[in-house]
């Protein structure tokens, strides 16, 4: 009986928790999000549902190509790795250029790694490395490195993720 009592108490506690969760759950929405709802004004006539005009979009002239793998950059201090910076990059290109980017990705990764290593070696990832000026300098360097590889199809390099892990 001594071994059975904790199991019974655990089951009762779990059951009470599930019951309380179901009881306190907010009611389900009756209308789907974005569905038109008929309104009846005070005078008794049904109002016609007016849909707002859709904003006119310009045709897209650019696309974003995410590079397959993240970049890992070691931060060296006194002949040892003191931190790692991990970054994910995307390239802004003309529409239909994704295949050209992927076919040149090994060369593109090589030049990007060189820029990232140079940035790390000059202290770019020390202190407040997400400072606007430092990030702008890094983006500019990445774009300058991408131009000889991709030509005029590239217009920008985006840093979509960046993190530093100190050891």
Comparing 132 with 84, the larger pLDDT belongs to 84
3-class secondary structure per residue, 36-53? CCCCCCCCCCCCCCCCCC
Q: What is the pTM of this model?
A: 0.64
Bridge partners of residue 162, in order along the sequence: 87
Q: What percent of the chain has pLDDT over 70?
A: 69
Provide the pLDDT for residue 23: 66
Among 42-56, 97-111, 116-130, whose mean pLDDT is lowest?
42-56
pLDDT digits (tens, 9 = 90+) for 42-85: 455 544 445 555 556 666 889 999 999 999 999 998 889 999 99
Q: What is the 3-state secondary structure (H, E, C) of the chain?
A: CCCHHHHHHHHHHHHHHHHHHHHHCCCCCCCCCCCCCCCCCCCCCCCCCCCCCCCCCCCCCEEEEECCCCEEEEEEECCEEEEEEEEEEEEEEECCCHHHHHHCHHHHHHHHHHHHHHHHHCCCCCCCCCCHHHHHHHHHHHHHHHHHHHHHHEEEEEEEEEEEEEC
CA distances to 7, 8, 10, 130, 153 from 19, rounded to whole Å, are: 18, 16, 14, 47, 59
- Read off the pLDDT of each residue in 16-22 and give the average, rounded to a whole number: 65
- Going by pLDDT thresholds of 50, 70 and 90, the confidence category of residue 40 is very low
- pLDDT of residue 37 exceeding 50: no
Tell the CATH topology of 62-166.
Answer: Tetrahydropterin Synthase; Chain A (3.30.479)
Rounded Cα gap, residues 138 and 124, in angstroms: 8
Chain mean pLDDT for the chain:
82
pLDDT of residue 93: 96
Distances (CA, A) of 136 to 87, 110, 120, 129, 158: 15, 20, 14, 11, 10
Lowest-pLDDT choice from 29-33, 89-93, 140-144, 159-163:
29-33
The region of weakest confidence among 23-27, 97-101, 140-144 is 23-27
Give the pLDDT of residue 31: 47
Confidence of residue 16 (pLDDT cuts 50, 70, 90): low
């Amino acid at each position: 009986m001594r071994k059975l009592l904790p199991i019974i108490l655990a089951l009762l506690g779990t059951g009470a928790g599930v019951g309380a969760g179901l009881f306190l759950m907010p009611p389900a929405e009756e209308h789907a999000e974005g569905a038109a709802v008929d309104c009846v004004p005070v005078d008794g006539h049904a109002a016609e549902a007016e849909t707002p005009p859709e904003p006119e979009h310009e045709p897209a002239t650019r696309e974003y190509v995410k590079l397959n793998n993240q970049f890992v950059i070691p931060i060296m201090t006194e002949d040892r790795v003191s931190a790692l910076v991990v970054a994910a990059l995307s390239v802004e290109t003309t529409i239909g250029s994704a295949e050209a980017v992927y076919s040149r990705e090994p060369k593109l990764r090589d030049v990007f790694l060189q820029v990232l290593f140079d940035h790390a070696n000059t202290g770019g990832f020390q202190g407040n490395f997400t400072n606007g000026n430092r990030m702008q300098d890094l983006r500019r360097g990445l774009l300058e490195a991408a131009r000889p590889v991709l030509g005029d199809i590239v217009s920008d390099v985006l840093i979509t993720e960046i993190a530093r892990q100190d050891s």
